[in-house]
Copies of this chain bind each other. A is one copy, B any other.
Amino acid sequence: MDKILRIDMGSSGGPKCTVSDLGGYAGFGGRAMTSAIVAQEVPPLCHPLGAENKLVIAPGLLSGTIAAMSGRLSIGCKSPLTGGIKESNAGGQPAQVLARLGYAAIVIEGKPAGDDLYKILIHKDGVAITADNSLKMMLNYDLVAKMKQEFGEKICCISIGPAGEMKMNAASIACTDMEQRPTRHCGRGGVGAVMGAKGVKAIVLDDTGMPVRTPRDPEKFRDANKRFVEGLMKHPVTGQGLPTYGTNVLTNIMSEAGGYPTFNFQQGSFDGASKISGETLAELEKKRGANPTHGCHRGCVIRCSGTYNDKNGNFLTKQPEYETVWSHGGNCGIDDLDAIAMLDFLDDNIGVDTIEMGATIGVAMEAGIAKFGDAEAAIAMVKEVGQGTYLGRILGGGAAVAGKVFGVERVPVVKGQAMPAYDPRAVKGIGVTYATSPMGADHTAGYAVTANILKVGGYVDPLKSDGQIELSRDLQIATAAVDSTGMCIFIAFAILDQPETFQSLLDMLSACHGVSITADGVVDLGKNVLSMERDFNARAGFTKDHDRLPRFFSTEKLAPHQVTFDVKDEDLDRVFNW
């Protein structure tokens, strides 16, 4: 993993590849790599869909090794949704495979002159880039099937659906899972639109003939990984909660805590929560012969994923994540798991972010385009996104654009990106993260739900403003570092609570790279990543005034706790004072 592949899509004679060593980017992986390249090479005021933007795809520092949980792939660019820097990561196979192929990053640059659509094959013998207009407007599942037919069963894919080709702000980039299903998405920030603007439909990876990455100190590495896995297995969240119920275990918890945004953030708990909860979902999956415990990539031991079968017992989609169940469920007043699963499938197939889509439909419902609770209308809306009808185009533009188009005041976005499944008024730590993350509203950027709700890594009362700044700061720093390792963020539960598990991660990193990485080093890495990102955003025109929630969170009380978001502006401005 010591080279960078650059593909210039705008080269006059057609796309052109060059391979270089890491140069100044040595030591970076995942989010650190994507953010470093974007911050250094992309003009902050360029148009996100223009030739000057770059799409950077990077496996993490540990990806491609035998390290458990190391399968996250980071994709970065200037975001068409937020106008700022973006890193969006996903599970699935591509991070492992790309790392084994030896690439620390793929950088897609330029913009083709015509409207040809390209596929890129990367394997042990090199790179082949081919125009293939038969792929135009192909859905992700069909596309992957076609790529398998063409390139064999051992491939994995990074691809866009019609939404990306239409350059929609909500467009995602799909990564295939172990069963070669395009179910794991770099969802946030419209990264799929940037891939579409580059004219790239699919990147097909085949690591046949390439060995597992060898750490510098294999024995120490193997030992550290063993302790790491043991740590994950013994923590109740990663060892039991997530495998059994998946992330959707949170539906009941959040609704009971009064922080479950319902009817486009009008109230904090949902009457239909139990109908769509993780417990109900797991039962249904069992009944229909689906798999409730499944890993999305080789080496996953938490296995929070699963599969969802339709009424006839046939695979419909992956087990929908909590945030998806929320966005298409309670946020739109929908309490029907089959409808939510269908929406999840459509989103994956069309290639849009499930969080942004659900939030956008919520805004459309507030505008009166459909009634809250109308699942059929929601399904029809997402289908329109895939067809690129005018309504579909509006919705594919994301919640902020839909709010502008429909003249809606209550639009739950920060920096143009929709808020996920936690109301910032009743989970104030996550509100601080939403407000201040360089990514726009993003729960994964500093998941304060841990200490606010789950009492992991300590406890900070979610309804009070005390302590939220420090909580969000520490988590944002830790997350920026973890996102650079290729590790799934869910390892945080165990490493926050168990010092020995955190140490095993440090030992793995040290053994892998033949250096001595300490806790302080990890903190420094996280701070470095955040600083690069914030610097890019500052040069793109962002100020502290963009580190704010929409005003209605300060003025409208949220039931049942009757709380507003009251963290002071001057405190928000302290988050990055370290």
Assess whether A9 is interfacial by the CB under 8 Å rule.
Answer: no
**Is B552's CB under 8 angstroms from A545's CB?**
no
Interface string of A523-547 (1 = CB under 8 A from B): 0000000000000000111110110
- Give residues of chain A (48-98) contacting chain B, Cβ–Cβ below 8 Å: 49-50, 52, 80
Q: Given that A390-B390, A551-B50 are known contacts, is A545 also in contact with B404, CB under 8 Å in the complex?
A: no
Of the stretches A13-21, A29-37, A102-110, A162-170, the one at the interface is A162-170
- Give residues of chain A (390-449) contacting chain B, Cβ–Cβ below 8 Å: 390-391, 393-394, 396-397, 401, 404-409, 411
Assess whether A47 is interfacial by the CB under 8 Å rule.
Answer: yes
Q: What CA separation (Å) do A541 and B168 show in the bound complex?
A: 25
**Is A197's CB under 8 angstroms from B397's CB?**
no
Partner of A197 from the list B197, B394, B407 (CB cut-off 8 Å) is: B407
Assess whether A43 is interfacial by the CB under 8 Å rule.
Answer: yes
**Is B405's CB under 8 angstroms from A401's CB?**
yes
SS class, residues of chain A in contact with chain B: loop
Q: What CA separation (Å) do A427 and B483 show in the bound complex?
A: 48
Query: A407 to chain B: which residues have CB within 8 Å?
Result: 49, 166-168, 193, 196-197
**Is B394's CB under 8 angstroms from A545's CB?**
no
Question: Taking CB as reference atom, which chain B residue is nearest A384?
Answer: B390
Least Cβ–Cβ distance between A515 and chain B, in angstroms: 38
Interface string of A153-187 (1 = CB under 8 A from B): 00000000000001111000000000000000000
**Is B548's CB under 8 angstroms from A45's CB?**
yes
Partner of A401 from the list B391, B404, B543 (CB cut-off 8 Å) is: B404
Query: A542 to chain B: which residues have CB within 8 Å?
Result: 541, 543
Q: What CA separation (Å) do A332 and B46 show in the bound complex?
A: 25
Partner of A552 from the list B50, B406, B552 (CB cut-off 8 Å) is: B50
8 interchain residue pairs of minimum CB distance = A167-B407, A541-B545, A390-B390, A390-B391, A49-B409, A397-B405, A47-B409, A393-B405
Q: Could you show 21 A-B contacts with beta carbons less than 8 Å apart?
A: A44-B545, A45-B548, A45-B551, A47-B409, A47-B550, A47-B552, A49-B407, A49-B409, A80-B404, A167-B407, A193-B407, A196-B407, A197-B409, A389-B390, A390-B393, A393-B406, A394-B405, A397-B404, A401-B405, A541-B545, A543-B543
